[in-house]
Amino acid sequence: MLKIDKQTARRFLLKKQKLWFDQEQENASEANANQVLEMIRGLECVQIDPVSVVERNQHLTLAARISGYYPDHLNELLSRQKVFEYKANEACVIPMEDYPLFKPIRMRMHDALDERLKALGPVVDHVLNRLKNEGPLPSRVFKSEVKVHGYWDNKAPGTKETSLALNLLMDTGDIRVVERVGSDRIFGITEDTIPKEIWKKANTISLHEASQALIEKYINAYRIFDLGDQRFGWQRMKAAERKLEIESRVDRGELVPVAVGGVKRSYFVRAEDADLLEPTNSKISPEEGPIRFLPPLDNLLWRRERLEDFFNFSYRWEIYIPKEKRQYGAYTMPILAGDQLIGRIDPRVDRENQTLVIQLLKLEPDVEATPVLQKAIEEALHRFAEFLGARNVKYETVIKS
């Protein structure tokens, strides 16, 4: 078992999450779609979400890592069939070459949603026939007056039956999002819209091979992970199954157990990463930065327990919590400075006045709000505002400690 301290764990994780200081990247003035594709490959996938308080999660995640990134870069990759959207760590954008690996999830979703699809009957046939005969179409062309219980309808039916059919067919993998134009999703038949060699591999790969490869993809995405993560392998494994998969990899010498000083939870890393866990005594002040603002579903934040273990930082996305019970705000974003999470902001964009409004800026109690740090945060917020298309930054509440 490897024994490391929290600083070593943090820095290793940040490097693998592409959030470590990179002088060349920081000085880059403009990115391109190919750079974005390589970043997604390095991260394995990037979580997508429709919530757009400031910008959608996928774009905020990539912008935190790539100077000069713009949403059009990701949209270009989608339309060029370089990436696809499907369930990994929830809904994600994933490199197209990995499509075959998700066979276990597609089959599980088929089994789980079969009855709901049958209940929609003619509506499903109508959607599929139009897409087959007319090619990719935006969701808005499928019209229906009938409302049914959709994924997010807690009480009365509020979802068009055609919209539910599209969502169910997307979850089973029969159709996919082939392009995004603004807030519109353009759907196409999956078989007709991905490279033929990838489709062929998806049909010929065995379930066992796909399942094992998907576990490896998860391990590469997390890099340092614990046994208790219910998302392990992205296949809804029971605790005993997770334990067996991990122990078998330890026995084969593929994984190494890791003990982090001051942390009760045990972790694991790939054996080939063990040499990268050498401790260092060098300290980085938050003032040295760089300062980054991470969206609620950023890859670094996927495992909240890991944040508390390595960064001593407690984080909860409060958007679905009643307003009166929120502690920090609906879209609170952690502030990363160097190898520390030093605080959080709750932003929104006043698009009419082209202003990034910081409804709350709060530093952690042990972070000293020096003039140098305050200036670094202010400059980072102006860069963030520029990415969001805002010209000004307005502060409503600032709590320095």
Contact 346, 358 (CB under 8 A): yes
Contact 260, 306 (CB under 8 A): no
pLDDT tens digit sequence for 91-114: 999 999 999 999 999 999 999 999
pLDDT at res. 23: 40
Topology of the domain covering 100-200: Arc Repressor Mutant, subunit A (1.10.10)
**Residue 288: C-alpha distances to residues 69, 73, 382 (Å):** 23, 29, 17
Residues 345-373 have a mean pLDDT of 95
CA 400, CA 312: separation in Å to the nearest integer? 18
Minimum mean pLDDT among 3-7, 145-149, 307-311, 332-336: which range? 145-149
pLDDT bracket for residue 157 (50, 70, 90): confident
Contact 361, 376 (CB under 8 A): no
pLDDT tens digit sequence for 210-251: 999 999 999 999 999 999 999 999 999 999 999 999 999 999
**What residue spans in the chain does CATH classification 1.10.10 cover?**
100-200
pLDDT tens digit sequence for 256-302: 999 999 999 999 999 999 999 988 878 888 888 799 999 999 999 99
CA 42, CA 20: separation in Å to the nearest integer? 13
pLDDT at res. 160: 85
pLDDT at res. 218: 98
**What residue spans in the chain does CATH classification 3.40.630 cover?**
286-399
Closest CA to 376 of 329, 333, 335: 335
Which CATH architecture best describes the domain 286-399? 3-Layer(aba) Sandwich (3.40)
CA 138, CA 85: separation in Å to the nearest integer? 16
Residues 6+ apart with CB under 8 A from 338: 21, 284, 285, 286, 288, 289, 290
**Residue 273: C-alpha distances to residues 132, 231, 260 (Å):** 46, 22, 15
pLDDT at res. 84: 97
Asked if pLDDT for residue 58 goes beyond 50, the answer is yes
Residues 156-171 have a mean pLDDT of 88
Asked if pLDDT for residue 304 goes beyond 50, the answer is yes
